[in-house]
């Protein structure tokens, strides 16, 4: 397949690398000049299991490519999605499928605004990756993709995309309610990412505080109320099961989650697409969401005092 990765940071580079290794024609699209320059000059540095390789893979600004792609994999942070879509409008058409696996609530609606006629698939992924500098990623562990065709996707296109992801060993699984998965993951991130960022701690350290379970309940119950009003079957039980599994001593990582890393490197966070999305919908639907509202404001305050 001819594939463009739109947003080739940690995850986009990982997926681009894996899709290229399995024989696809992949181009990394990005808006960070040093990143593009580094990849084109030296190759993408990929470190896995302690070994570093430099992979020759084309990288470009979206405005400089005019090919027709079979698939565009959108992998920006949620708050960068609209900007990226504006930059790739000339690549969007009825034939080019779009797959978005970024975290956060609201990505689907944003893509539909820009690409109403495109074959569209969305999902979540448990793969991880770390961008350690321009042109350089570290690949950790393994994962899978859960995805669903949303609109304009023919059976043939779905099969080809599924096979392509499977051949790249990305472990795709088709879901029959991907919105539930997206909301469940957003709820998990609204606890783990937001709490670790506000408390300046690693995931496993959340277990040290007796306040965390009470705070978690507040966030989760507001998610449940808003989800119910939106017709998403996310329950307190489903959300807490996912959160408690991630906080179990043998699972809770000795690492700072990505939102904490964004703040530490002076970058904006995805908060408006996590707790902030629930606070916004709560206001629109007249559902009280004070916990998510306060967390959103506190994270924005942290962004303002630490932004570069």
Q: Out of 87, 96, 110, 125, point to the residue binding ligand NAD (CB under 6 A).
A: 125
Nearer to ligand NAD among residue 129 and residue 292 (C-beta): 129
Q: Judged by CB under 6 A, which of 27, 38, 45, 76 binds ligand NAD?
A: 76
The residue nearest ligand NAD at its CB is 9
Helices 212-230, 290-306: axis angle to 10 degrees equals: 110
Q: Does 77 bind ligand NAD (CB under 6 A)?
A: yes
In whole angstroms, how close is the CB of 296 to ligand NAD at the nearest point?
Answer: 16
SS3 177: coil
Q: Is 243 buried (19+), middle (13-18) or exposed (0-12) by CB count in 10 A?
A: buried
237 assigned to active site? no
E strand spans, 142-259: 145-151, 172-174
Residue choice 3, 16, 27, 35 for contact with ligand NAD (CB under 6 A): 35
Binders of ligand NAD among residues 186 to 245 (CB under 6 A) are: none
| Inter-residue contact 128 to 156 (CB < 8 Å) | no
Q: Which residue has the tokens 């939102």?
A: 259
Q: Which of 20, 103, 118, 181 binds ligand NAD (CB under 6 A)?
A: 103
| 126: Cβ contacts below 8 Å, ≥ 6 apart | 143, 144
Q: In the set 30, 224, 272, 293, which binds ligand NAD (CB under 6 A)?
A: 30
Q: b/e map of 77-90 (b: 16 or more CB within 10 Å)? A: bbbbbeebbebbee
- Of 185, 208, 218, 237, the active-site residue reads 185
**Residue 22 engages ligand NAD in binding (rule: CB under 6 A):** no
Q: Which of 234, 246, 225, 201 is nearest to 291 (CA)?
A: 225
Residue of 17, 69, 75, 256 interacting with ligand NAD (CB under 6 A): 75
Q: How many residues bind to ligand NAD according to rule CB under 6 A?
A: 23
**Residues 1, 25: contact at Cβ < 8 Å?**
yes
**Residues 239-278 as x/- pattern, contact with ligand NAD by CB under 6 A:** -------------------x-----------x--------
* H or E segment and range at residue 192: helix 178-199
Contact positions toward ligand NAD, by CB under 6 A? 7-12, 30, 32, 35, 75-78, 80, 102-104, 125, 128-129, 131, 258, 270
Give catalytic residue positions: 185
């Amino acid at each position: 397949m001819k594939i463009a990765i739109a947003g080739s940071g940690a995850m986009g580079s990982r997926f681009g690398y894996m899709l290229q290794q399995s024989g696809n024609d992949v181009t990394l699209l990005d808006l960070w000049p040093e990143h593009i320059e580094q990849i084109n000059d030296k190759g993408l540095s990929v470190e896995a299991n302690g070994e570093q390789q430099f992979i020759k893979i084309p990288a470009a600004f979206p405005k400089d490519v005019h090919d027709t792609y079979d698939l565009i994999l959108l992998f920006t942070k949620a708050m960068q999605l609209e900007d990226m879509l504006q930059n790739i409008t000339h690549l969007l058409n009825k034939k080019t499928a779009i797959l978005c696996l970024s975290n956060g609530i609201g990505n689907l609606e944003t893509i539909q605004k820009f690409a109403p006629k495109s074959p569209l698939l969305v999902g979540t992924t448990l793969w991880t990756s770390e961008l350690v500098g321009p042109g350089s990623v570290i690949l950790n562990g393994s994962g899978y993709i859960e995805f669903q065709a949303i609109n304009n996707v023919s059976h043939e296109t779905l099969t080809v995309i599924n096979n392509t992801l499977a051949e790249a060993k990305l472990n795709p699984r088709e879901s029959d309610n991907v919105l539930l998965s997206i909301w469940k993951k957003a709820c998990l991130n609204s606890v783990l990412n937001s709490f670790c960022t506000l408390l300046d701690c690693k995931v496993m350290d959340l277990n040290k505080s007796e306040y965390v379970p009470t705070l978690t309940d507040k966030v989760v119950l507001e998610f449940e109320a808003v989800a119910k009003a939106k017709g998403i079957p996310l329950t307190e039980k489903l959300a807490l099961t996912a959160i408690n599994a991630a906080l179990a001593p043998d699972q809770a990582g000795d690492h700072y989650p990505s939102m904490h890393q964004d703040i530490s490197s002076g970058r904006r966070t995805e908060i408006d697409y996590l707790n902030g999305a629930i606070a916004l919908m709560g206001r629109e639907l007249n559902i009280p969401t004070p916990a998510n509202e306060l967390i959103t404001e506190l994270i924005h305050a942290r962004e303002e005092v630490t932004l570069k």
